[in-house]
Each structure stands twice: as C-alpha cells, then as structure tokens.
Amino acid sequence: MPGNKIARVTEDVHRELSSILREVKDPRVKGCLLSIVRAEVTNDLSYCTVYVSTMEGLERTKEAVQGLKSASGYMRRELGHRLKLRHVPELIFKPTDSIEYGASISRMLHDLDIPEAEPEEGEEL
C-alpha cells in the first residue's frame, strides 16, 4: 500500500507543478515553451526530481532549469499550500531533450515516402 501513496503524491506533484510553472515570472522560464516530462518523488518524500524539456532544444532547457532552480523556493512553498503535505519534497530540476527528440522522430516519419495501399475491390475505406 505505501507504493500507492507515493504514486498518488507523484501524480499530484506533477499536476500542481505544471500549473505553478505558468505563474513563475523568471524571464528564463517565461520566454519558452516549457513542459514537465516526468516527476519522481523518493520513498521518504524528501526529494522530487523533475525532468523538464522545451521545443527549442537542450541548451534552452538548461537555461530554463537555471531559472527554475532560482524559483524553487517559491514553487516549493506553493506546492505545500496546494497539496497540504506535512513535508514538501525538495525540488531538483533536470533538463532533458525528449520533446525535441519526439518532434524529430515525427518529422522523420512524416518525410518518409510510403505509398498508401490501394483498397481492393469490395473493400471500403
């Protein structure tokens, strides 16, 4: 049963951080399309590793992570108010390029010239 609580808290933290992210006024964070890819909370709820990504690439994500680190106190306080946790986990932000990677895979698949199969007689679309 304890694993279920950790999973629920992790999901709640992910959801609330996504909404708190829109309220951060740091220009390094505000000027890009930033997304929280994944959040992982430790078993003792002392740390939360948050993986973030941008469409602009890994270098832009690293710059945004610096802004998030400077705003982590505000974000942690807001998280405590919204979730009513006894102990709010310390936020650790890590940059990742998963959104950019996914977009490049999508572009490569779109650029492939795969002829569509012709429907056979008696077959409908």
pLDDT of 1 reads 44
Set out the domains of the chain in order of their start, with CATH numbers: 2-105 (3.30.300.20)
**Which stretch of DSSP H or E encloses residue 19?**
helix 2-21
44-86, pLDDT tens digit by residue?
889 999 999 888 888 888 999 999 999 999 999 999 999 988 8
Q: Which residue has the tokens 């102990």?
A: 87
Using one digit for the tens of pLDDT, what is the confidence trace for 82-123?
998 888 999 999 998 877 777 778 888 888 877 776 667 766
CA-based angle 48:98:25, to the nearest 5?
60
